[in-house]
Every structure is written in structure tokens, then in C-alpha cells.
Structure 1
Amino acid sequence: MPLMVTGLYASLTGLLIVALAYRVVKLRRSQKIGLGDGGNSVLVLAGRVHANLIENAPIALILMMLAEMGGLAAFYLHCFGTVWIVARLLHAIGLTQGKGGYHFGRFWGVLLTWVVIIALALVNLVHFAQSL
């Protein structure tokens, strides 16, 4: 069974991961910081934006893949995937512009990320319960 919808959002997530990693590398080179953050708060934030995506992407994409394999309609998968990508963009923008403090984008990015993860987990639990 081809996992086309999950493949789409995994690919978009992969591109976002590379874009955020490139941002970290660019900052490291411009500031001549090879390891660590050198006390540079901009580099700390860029690293956290990238790391937070890396921390959340595996579970979100695994849950999406399992939901797709369980037969969840493509429409719902696209809804979850779209919210996932928007959430991660909001988080990246919000954490950066808010300089680590409160920001609309950071708040909604985290909240929507959790909504996607929780909703997909529940979808998969329902699929499991229906299989009994």
C-alpha cells in the first residue's frame, strides 16, 4: 500500500528540517562558532527551532503513516498534514520573532502540533478498538 499522503507531508517536513538546519549552519559560519552556541542567543534560538521540529516530527509522521495504513480517508490525512506544516511554520516564526518569549506563532505552533499528535493518536486507538 503506497503511503502517498504521508509521503507528501514527510517530504515537506524533510525540506523544512533542511531549511532550518541550513539557517543554523549559516549562523554558525557567520559567527565562527563550530560547536555549542558561543553565548549567541540568535544561534540558541535557531538551534531550538530546528531541534523542536526534530523532536516532534517522528511521532507525528509515524502516527500519520499508521492512520493512513489503517484506512483514514485522504481528506482527513490532508487536514492533519496541513495543520502539521502550518503549526511547524508558526512555531519556527514565533520562537524566532519572540526571541524565546511569548509569541502568537510559538503558542499556536505548539498547540496545533499537540492537537495533531493527540488527534492522530486517538484515530489510531479507535482503529485498534474497531479491529477487536
Structure 2
Amino acid sequence: MTFHITAISAALIGLLYTWLSARVIARRMSARISVGDGEDKALIYRIRAQGNCGEYAPISLLLLLLVELSGTPTGVTIALATLIVLGRALHAFAFVKRPMSFLARRVGMIMTFAAISLASLGLLGHSLL
């Protein structure tokens, strides 16, 4: 059995995380801050964008894999994957924009939370029935 939807989603989020990490490294180098944030606002934003992705991506992708493993219809799995990937991307790009785009951040969070909640409820329902 193959898990193309989860694999593609994980690959895209992996690329997003790599990009966010590179932005942190670049700012650390330009600001000459090796450890911590040095109270540098630009670095703080970059650290939180990367950290937030690292906090929500793993549970999102794990749930997506379980949804795909459980035999959920492809369309539903693709919809969840789209919510996860676009939600994480919108949230990350909100941190890049100056001033921060609170709308993009809010929509990204809503999309991510919706995917996590829907996947969790679907898995519970599927497992209990």
C-alpha cells in the first residue's frame, strides 16, 4: 500500500520547514547572534515561524497518515492534506510579511486546527464504530 497523499504533504511541509530554518540561520548570521534571540525582533519572528511549523506539522502529518491508512476516501484525504499544507504555508508567510498579516496567520491557524480536529474526529468515529 502506498501513501502518496501523506508523502507529498510531508515533502511540501519539509521544504517549508527547511526554508523557515534557512531564514533563522540567515538572520542569526547577519545579526551575529549564535544562541537565543538577542532581543532581535526579526530573529524572534523567524524563530517563532519555524517553531510553530515544527510544533504543528508532526501531529498534522501523523493524523493524515492514519487517515490515509484507515482507508478514508481519497477526496477527503486530499482535502485534509490541502488544509494542512495551505494552513502551515499561510501561517508561515504571515510571519514574513511586514507588518505581519494577522489575517493570513488567523486563516492558517484555522485551517490547521480544522484539519487536526476533523482528522481526529474521523479517526475516533472510524475506530469506535
RMSD: 1.4
Q: What amino acid sits opposite 2:104 in the alignment?
A: G
Q: In structure 2, what is the Cα distance between the partners aligned to 1:40 and 1:14?
A: 26
Question: Does the CA-based 8 Å contact 1:95-1:105 persist in structure 2?
Answer: no
For 2:47, the equivalent position in structure 1 comes to 47
Deviations 1:31-55 (A, max 9, x none): 1111111110110010000000100
For 1:107, the equivalent position in structure 2 comes to 106
- Unaligned runs of 5+ residues in structure 2 are none
Q: Percent identity?
A: 31
- Unaligned runs of 5+ residues in structure 1 are none
Q: In structure 2, what is the Cα distance between the partners aligned to 1:99 and 1:31?
A: 20
Q: In structure 2, what is the Cα distance between the partners aligned to 1:109 and 1:98?
A: 17
Q: In structure 1, what is the Cα distance between the partners aligned to 2:55 and 2:121?
A: 20
Q: In structure 2, what is the Cα distance between the partners aligned to 1:95 and 1:31?
A: 18
Report the TM-score when normalising by structure 1: 0.91
Report the TM-score when normalising by structure 2: 0.93
Q: In structure 1, what is the Cα distance between the partners aligned to 2:98 and 2:58?
A: 26
Question: Does the CA-based 8 Å contact 1:97-1:103 persist in structure 2?
Answer: no
Q: In structure 1, what is the Cα distance between the partners aligned to 2:30 and 2:106?
A: 29
| Secondary structure of the corresponding residue to residue 33 of structure 1 | coil
Question: Does the CA-based 8 Å contact 1:45-1:99 persist in structure 2?
Answer: no
Q: In structure 1, what is the Cα distance between the partners aligned to 2:98 and 2:118?
A: 28
Deviations 1:100-129 (A, max 9, x none): 6x7101111111110010000011111102
For 1:121, the equivalent position in structure 2 comes to 120
Q: In structure 2, what is the Cα distance between the partners aligned to 1:41 and 1:125?
A: 41
For 1:75, the equivalent position in structure 2 comes to 75
Q: Does 1:6 align with 2:6?
A: yes
After superposing on structure 2, the runs of 4+ consecutive aligned residues of structure 1 that deviate more than 3 Å are: none
* Equivalent residues, number: 129
Alpha-carbon shift at residue 99 of structure 1 (Å): 5.4
